[in-house]
């Protein structure tokens, strides 16, 4: 929705009813972007896009180098462009500004040039400079890259995303000219399982996997419809009604990002998490890493500095369910297998 000042108005995140699993996964990724993003699968009309776009108003500000197209970090070499590094090596001063984390949409029909960027060969040859027009991966650096209907994305774009997600850098090559820039982003995808499954290589790149379904409770459905009707009728007033809740959540997310480094998880609990991953025959160590990170982010969000077994229980299905499949003919497990193994190893009653 657009207001009279031509500004986009998003439905308030704190006004969303239900879909707790999806909301939790998104908030934890804001607290710790290294969790690796969220894949959200669910029926049509369940509010996937509405919830994701409502994140925009919650995103914190970050320090960036002014006029840099890659949102370069002014101190972290892994998150800055080659141009900024060169300036630092030459002892040049950097103009630093604060900027809100961006949510960048990657449309299904996007071309490779639109996603990765383009090199102006003619200008490069005539003027001897590397003329580069940044793409969506440049804009998404240190932000969020959102792909709706990600399971319908062309295979060649999937490959590009895999390369960028694996290395944290995007490289564009043309006619012997190569340009690279940092591209570290939170990858959020949404889709309808009826329209096909994701390639396992891309699915594994998502740190968490949230499943959402159509609300069955008639009273809850009526409440959701009334909320949406009120927002469409008087969006400004509706947003004002949730302003304080929004601000409280924003402050909580900010403090959680600052305090995350102080959260600890017991060694024996880390052992048990890895034991669960081993029992489930999960390939690689990404499942172990993500579960540890997500549990710490949840504890921090709830203003605790020690991870509990309850924290691990709440996040472990989100972190592991999409890593279980080995047979391509099998459907996605809802988390039953993960819960069973968790209960055995932690001796825990759900």
Active-site position among 205, 257, 286, 293: 286
User: 286 catalytic, yes or no?
Assistant: yes
Q: Both tokens of residue 74?
A: 């002014």
Positive or negative, the Cα torsion across 133, 139, 141, 142? positive
Give the integer Cα–Cα distance in Å for 98 and 107.
27
**Which residues form the catalytic set?**
286
């Amino acid at each position: 929705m657009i207001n009279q000042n031509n500004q986009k108005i998003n439905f308030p995140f704190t006004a969303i009813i239900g879909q707790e699993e999806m909301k939790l996964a998104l908030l934890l990724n804001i607290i710790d972007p290294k969790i690796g993003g969220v894949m959200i699968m669910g029926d049509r009309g369940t509010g996937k896009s509405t919830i994701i776009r409502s994140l925009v108003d919650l995103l914190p500000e970050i320090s960036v180098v002014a006029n840099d197209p890659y949102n370069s970090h002014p101190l972290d070499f892994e998150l800055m462009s080659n141009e900024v590094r060169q300036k630092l090596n030459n002892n040049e001063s950097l103009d630093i500004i604060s900027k809100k984390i961006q949510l960048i949409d990657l449309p299904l029909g996007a071309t490779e040039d639109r996603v990765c960027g383009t090199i102006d060969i003619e200008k490069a040859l005539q003027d001897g400079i590397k003329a580069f027009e940044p793409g969506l991966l440049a804009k998404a650096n240190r932000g969020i890259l959102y792909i709706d209907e990600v399971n319908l994305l062309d295979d060649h774009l999937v490959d590009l995303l895999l390369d960028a997600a694996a290395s944290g850098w995007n490289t564009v090559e043309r006619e012997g000219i190569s340009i690279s820039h940092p591209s570290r982003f939170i990858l959020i995808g949404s889709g309808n399982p009826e329209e096909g499954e994701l390639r396992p290589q891309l699915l594994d790149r998502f740190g968490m996997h949230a499943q959402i379904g159509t609300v069955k409770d008639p009273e809850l459905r009526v409440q959701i419809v009334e909320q949406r009707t009120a927002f469409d009728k008087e969006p400004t007033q509706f947003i004002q009604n949730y302003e304080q809740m929004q601000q409280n959540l924003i402050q909580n997310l900010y403090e959680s990002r600052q305090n995350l480094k102080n959260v600890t998880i017991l060694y024996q609990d880390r052992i048990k998490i890895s034991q669960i991953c081993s029992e489930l025959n999960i390939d690689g160590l990404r499942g172990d890493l993500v579960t540890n990170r997500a549990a710490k982010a949840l504890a921090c969000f709830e203003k605790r500095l020690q991870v509990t077994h309850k924290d691990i229980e709440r996040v472990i299905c989100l972190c592991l369910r999409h890593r279980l499949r080995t047979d391509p003919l099998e459907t996605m497990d809802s988390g039953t297998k993960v819960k069973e193994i968790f209960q055995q190893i932690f001796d825990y009653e759900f």
